[in-house]
Amino acid sequence: MIKLNTDHAFLNEDIASYQGQVNELHDAIMNKTAKGNDFLGWVDWCNNYDKDEFARIKKDAAYVRENCEVYLVCGIGGSYLGARAAIEMINGLYGKDKYKPEIIFCGNTFSSTYTKQVLDYIADKEVMINVISKSGTTTETSLAFRLFKQFIEKKYGKDEAKKRIIATTDGTKGTLFDLATKEGYTKYVIPNDIGGRFSVITPVGLLPIAVAGIDIDALMQGVTDAFNDFDTADLSKNPAYAYAVARRILQNQGKNVEMFITYDLQTTMLAEWWKQLFGESEGKNGKGIFPAAGTFSTDLHSMGQFVQDGLKIVFETLVLFKNPTEDVIFPEDADNLDNMNYLAGKSLDWVNKMAMQGTLEAHEVEGNVPNLLIEVEDMSSHSFGYLVYFFFRAVAMSVLMLDENPFDQPGVEVYKKNMFRLLGKK
């Protein structure tokens, strides 16, 4: 379950006053008649996904875990952000399964230093690679994949290399599909009706997540439970839609920047995933809220001053995980030279939550910064699946309220055209 608290948001309109519009858009989402309906496959994916393919993911993930030290996930945007968000949120940054195998994300940058350092790092390690691209022509991913493909072929020979490369791509066509078919790589399908930023619940995200030792059955159960819970347009019962409406109300009040806030470092990549989901879905035709993020209390020491006293264009969406994955009790010290004994016997999670409460009060009472509070039970696989589906429904409703297509990204093509011209690609 997710709870949404809007008491800290200073809304000057009643969320319930939008019920009529939400009713209409909910029907369009569920009946798949909304703008961008060709990409609404995620809505009921929990009921329609290929169960045989799902079982194969678990089997192949077990094989990977037994046969490599480093698993390269080669993809960009939705082809890696969701998986990385899940792995770090659920396992933690130094969890017990973090290095079984070690998962390195590549193909998401042109950085020569990063790419060369990864190549050097894996030189004496057992390596497998999962290349992820719908078309197979994404430049960052294709460039990296050629380098790592040749590395694996040189290290193991072509026959063994074929067993160490997995391609997640279109099911029938495309550059990567053709290459994978010719070479005999294991293939997984990116559904035609689910866009990249919604693809974490498909083989795009599920295979790397399973390789990390995470229970993908529980993750998909979280998606299923969210689907069932949000199968209503009633704003008093659907927190995803209530969140979407609250965003629109706050923007009407001049709040054009939304900061996604958590208090756990292991959710930093969750914020990066959220930024793509909302930024790429909503930023069209001069519309939308700019998505930013902060991991508090860390970022309070860099961004806190602006949020508190700066231009009043910001509202915060605070995601609170009620139960930490792990906790530590702060010890007493006989000498107390650091004057910290006032915290002796307290858990670090309690300290973290008191920092959150103090910051919330400062931003709300003195800073006049609206806060939307989303409460999540824990950082389990089930909660991750539930939470991402919550945001899927919220972003669809929020963007449709702007009368825009939430599922395309025409602006992304502009930089690509210029880049290709400068690179000399015909």
175 and 135 Cβ atoms separated by less than 8 Å: yes
Which residues have a Cβ under 8 Å from the Cβ of 163 and sit 6 or more positions away? Answer: none
CA separation (Å) from 203 to 9, 79, 80, 172, 398?
37, 10, 11, 16, 26
404, 15, 235, 379: CA torsion to nearest 10: 80
Q: How many CA atoms lie within 13 A of 328 on its CB side?
A: 6
Q: Three-state DSSP class for 1?
A: coil
CA separation (Å) from 25 to 19, 31, 233, 403?
10, 10, 9, 10
The Cβ of residue 140 has, within 10 Å, a number of other Cβ atoms equal to 20
What does the block give as tokens for 221?
Answer: 């159960």
301, 307, 308, 309: CA torsion to nearest 10: 110
Q: How far apart are CA 78 and CA 409, in angstroms?
A: 12
- Sheet strands side by side (includes 102-106): 102-106, 70-74, 127-132, 165-169, 186-189
- ∠ CA 88-292-81, nearest 5°, is 35
From 271, 272, 291, select the one nearest 281 (Cα to Cα). 291
289 and 259 Cβ atoms separated by less than 8 Å: no
By residue count, the chain amounts to 426
368 and 201 Cβ atoms separated by less than 8 Å: no
Sign (positive or negative) of CA dihedral 34, 391, 275, 11: positive
Give the residue numbers marked as catalytic.
280, 416
Q: How far apart are CA 401 and CA 154, in angstroms?
A: 53
Write out 50-119 in H/E/C secondary structure.
CHHHHHHHHHHHHHHHHHCCEEEEECCHHHCHHHHHHHHHHHCCCCCCCECCEEEEECCCCCHHHHHHHH
